[in-house]
Amino acid sequence: MKRNDDTHIKREYWQRQGRQILAIAVALFLVILLAIVYKRRDLFGEFSNDTLFAGQLLVISAFIAFTAMNWRCPSCKKYLGKDIHKRACRHCKTMLR
């Protein structure tokens, strides 16, 4: 039974890690896109500075909220920290890879 639990935890960790990497890529792309639009306003139409700044804040806030929900240990549900390639949970010591 323990082996099956270990496999499930590792699979869940890999899924969370994949979602986290995708979220990083999307957030980075959107923030850079909004910065480019800020410098070249004629690229997609007219946008005010406030609108572009609010868009960047929205993207960053959404990324932080997603990370707070997603980047948790599959076993104890505590936050995993800043390392994207964790070997073990620092709270419950469960092996993740």
The phi and psi torsions of 92 (rounded to 5 degrees) equal -105, -5
List C-alpha distances in Å: 30 to 63, 66, 75, 79: 11, 15, 32, 25
Structure tokens at 53: 């700044």
* C-alpha–C-alpha distance, residues 37 and 31, integer Å: 10
Is residue 81 a part of any domain in this protein?
no
pLDDT confidence of residue 4:
55
Is residue 94 a part of any domain in this protein?
no
pLDDT confidence of residue 1:
43
Is residue 83 a part of any domain in this protein?
no
Cβ contacts of 88-95, under 8 Å, gap ≥ 24: 94/9, 95/6, 95/9, 95/10
Is residue 87 a part of any domain in this protein?
no
Is residue 57 a part of any domain in this protein?
yes
**Residue range of the domain that includes 22:** 2-70
Is residue 86 a part of any domain in this protein?
no
Q: How many domains does the chain have?
A: 1
**pLDDT tens column, 1-54:** 455 588 999 999 999 999 999 999 999 999 999 999 888 877 777 888 888 899
Is residue 36 a part of any domain in this protein?
yes
